[in-house]
Structure 1
Amino acid sequence: MPLKLSLKPGEKFVLNGAVVQNGDRRGVLILQNKASVLREKDILQPEDAKSPARRIYLPVMMMYIEPAEATKFYDEFVQRMGEFMGVIRNPQVLAECVTVSRCCMQRDYYKALLGCRKLIEYEDLRMGNVPEGVPAGRDER
C-alpha cells in the first residue's frame, strides 16, 4: 500500500537514512514500497533527549532510520528502558514499555516509536511539561 506524504514548503524528512527537504512549495510524495520515513517533527536531536522517555526514543529512532546499524543502538535502548522501567509503577505504562521492547526485538521499529511517543506523553503529563490534550512530542511554541 503506497504511503502519501503531503509536505509543507521547506519541510524536512528522513528517507532511509537520507535527509530530504521539500522545495519552496507544498508537495506530495508517494512511496510505492516499504521505506523508513520520519517527518522533521518526529526527529529527535541527541541534544534534545533530556528526559528518560526521550532517551528511550532516541536509540529506537536511530534503529528505525539506520536498520543496518541497529545493533549499535540496541544496547543503549536496553539500558535506557531498564532505567525507565525501574522507577515506573503504573501498570499501563509498564505494559507499554514491554510492547516497545517486544517491537524492538521483532525489528518493528516504527511501532516501537509509536509506543515511545506514548511514554513521552505520560512523562510530560507527570512532569507537568504540557497541558493535557497536547499530542506527545509536540511543543506548542
Structure 2
Amino acid sequence: MPLKVVLKPGETLVVNGAVIGSGDRTATIFLHNEAQFLRGREMLRAEEAIGPERALYLAIQMAYLGQAPERAVHDALAALRRARPEAVEEIAAIAELVSMRRHYQALRRCRALFPTATDHAA
C-alpha cells in the first residue's frame, strides 16, 4: 500500500535527496516503494542546529538523506550523552534506532529531546 503525502501550497518534501515542492495548490503524492523522505517542516537547517540535541537531529537527518557519514551521528550521540546524562535511556533508544537504520523514527525521538522555552526559564 503506497504512502500518501499531502503537500500544502508552497510546502516541500525531500525524497531520496530530491526536493519536491507544491505550487499554489495542494498536491497529493504517493510513494509506492520504500524511500527516504522528510517534509520541509521536519527538516533542520545547519544554522538551526544549536545545542547538542539539534546537532544530533541534523546529523541523523543528513545520514538519513545520504548526505553525511554515519560517523557524524555517532559523534553527535557521544556529545549528547555528555551534555544530557539524565536522558541516557532515550539517547540509547535513539542510538538503537539508528543502528537498525530506522532514521525517521530516530528523528522523531530526538526532536522530543529539544529544549522547550520553559526549560530556559528555570
Check whether TM > 0.5. Answer: yes
Unaligned runs of 5+ in 1: 129-141
State the identity %.
32
Which residue of 1 is the match for residue 74 of structure 2?
Answer: 78
Partner-residue secondary structure (3-state), 1:119: coil
Which residue of 1 is the match for residue 100 of structure 2?
Answer: 106
Q: Say whether the 8 Å CA contact 2:59–2:76 is kept in structure 1.
A: no
Pair 1:119 & 2:113 matched = yes
Pair 1:19 & 2:22 matched = no
Deviation, structure 1 residue 107: 1.2
Q: Say whether the 8 Å CA contact 1:60–1:73 is kept in structure 2.
A: no
Deviation, structure 1 residue 4: 0.9
Partner-residue secondary structure (3-state), 1:35: coil
Unaligned runs of 5+ in 2: none
1:7-61 superposed Cα distances (whole Å, 9 cap, x missing partner): 1111111011111111111111111111111011111111110111000000100
- TM-score, normalised to structure 1, is 0.77
Deviation, structure 1 residue 88: 2.0
Q: Match of 1:40, as an amino acid?
A: G
Partner-residue secondary structure (3-state), 1:76: helix
1:74-132 superposed Cα distances (whole Å, 9 cap, x missing partner): 22222221121123242xx3211001111111111111111111112xx225234xxxx
CA distance in 2, matches of 1:15, 1:87: 32
Q: Match of 1:16, as an amino acid?
A: N
CA distance in 2, matches of 1:87, 1:50: 13
Q: Say whether the 8 Å CA contact 1:60–1:77 is kept in structure 2.
A: yes
- TM-score, normalised to structure 2, is 0.88
Which residue of 2 is the match for residue 35 of structure 1?
Answer: 35
Structure 1 segments, 4+ long, off by >6 Å, are none
The correspondence of residues 81-92 of structure 1 with structure 2, limited to 5 A, is 81-90=77-86
